[in-house]
Structure 1
Amino acid sequence: MKKTVMIVDDQMGIRLLLEEVVKAAGHDVMTAENGKEALDKMKGKRPDLLLIDYKLPIMDGPTLLSHLEEQGQIIPAIMMSGLVEEAMVHKERFENVKEVFAKPFNVEEARDHINRLLKERS
């Protein structure tokens, strides 16, 4: 069954790369440049998986996750960051965060993690 993945990153190159990976696996993609835009888009359609950058303009990854959990929305998430040690703290803090990727990440490993988390949601 086709799933939907939302990619939230302020770097267009990262969004495009991950979009290609997700679409190649046969899934739909939603994208956003920051947490606020992601929340706005999720009002129309709820994704099955989130790929969220830790540091974002306007609303960062942890703030987005806080809003989702306050609303009772439990959506598996992968947090991405160049500050992986700092981001790892949020794996403990948020129920939604299932994985943390260090940037730059290995595309093959990212694809495997994305596919595994989507299968767990089946």
Structure 2
Amino acid sequence: MSKTVLVVDDQIGIRLLLEEVIQQEGYNVELALNGKEALDKILDNKPDLIMLDYKLPIIDGPTLVEKLEKDHIIIPTIIMSGLPEKAQEDVQNLQSVFQTIAKPFQLNDIRQLLKHILD
């Protein structure tokens, strides 16, 4: 069974770009615009990996991961941010966060991360 990646970003261009790259790598993709929509999708059908924007409307990235961990839901998560140092600092105590990456990112870096985490 193919693994599923949930991409959570309020920028449509980033969602669509990541959707294309992830599908090219052979994985299923779910998309969410904000942390609330992501939380609903995760509770419905737990993905194998979350690619999560740091700054999101309604529920931001770190808050979403905290909520999940509080409910003992641990899913490998990649935090994406235009402020990677601040994001790294804010999520350093969250066990689900596998890595923080800077925006804009290199697509080859994304491909390597996907393989590393999901294979």
TM-score, normalised on structure 2? 0.96
Aligned to 2:13: 13
Consecutive unaligned residues in structure 1, runs of 5 or more: none
- 1:97 aligned partner, one-letter code: V
Counting matched residue pairs gives 119
Root-mean-square deviation over aligned CA pairs: 0.9
Task: Indicate if the aligned counterparts of 1:49 and 1:76 stay in contact, CA closer than 8 A.
Answer: yes
Q: CA deviation at 1:113?
A: 0.7
Aligned to 1:97: 97
Aligned to 2:41: 41
Task: Indicate if the aligned counterparts of 2:82 and 2:102 stay in contact, CA closer than 8 A.
Answer: yes
Q: Distance in 2 between matches of 1:25 and 1:47?
A: 16
Aligned to 2:82: 82
Q: Distance in 1 between matches of 2:86 and 2:45?
A: 30
Q: CA deviation at 1:41?
A: 1.1
Consecutive unaligned residues in structure 2, runs of 5 or more: none
Task: Indicate if the aligned counterparts of 2:21 and 2:111 stay in contact, CA closer than 8 A.
Answer: yes
- 2:32 aligned partner, one-letter code: A
- 2:58 aligned partner, one-letter code: I
Task: Indicate if the aligned counterparts of 2:62 and 2:91 stay in contact, CA closer than 8 A.
Answer: no
Aligned to 1:25: 25
Any runs of at least 4 consecutive aligned residues in structure 1 with deviations exceeding 3 A, and if so which? none
Q: Deviations over 1:54-107 (max 9, x none)?
A: 000111000100110001011000000000010111442100001111000001
Aligned to 1:114: 114
- 2:104 aligned partner, one-letter code: P
Task: Indicate if the aligned counterparts of 1:91 and 1:98 stay in contact, CA closer than 8 A.
Answer: no
Task: Indicate if the aligned counterparts of 1:82 and 1:103 stay in contact, CA closer than 8 A.
Answer: yes
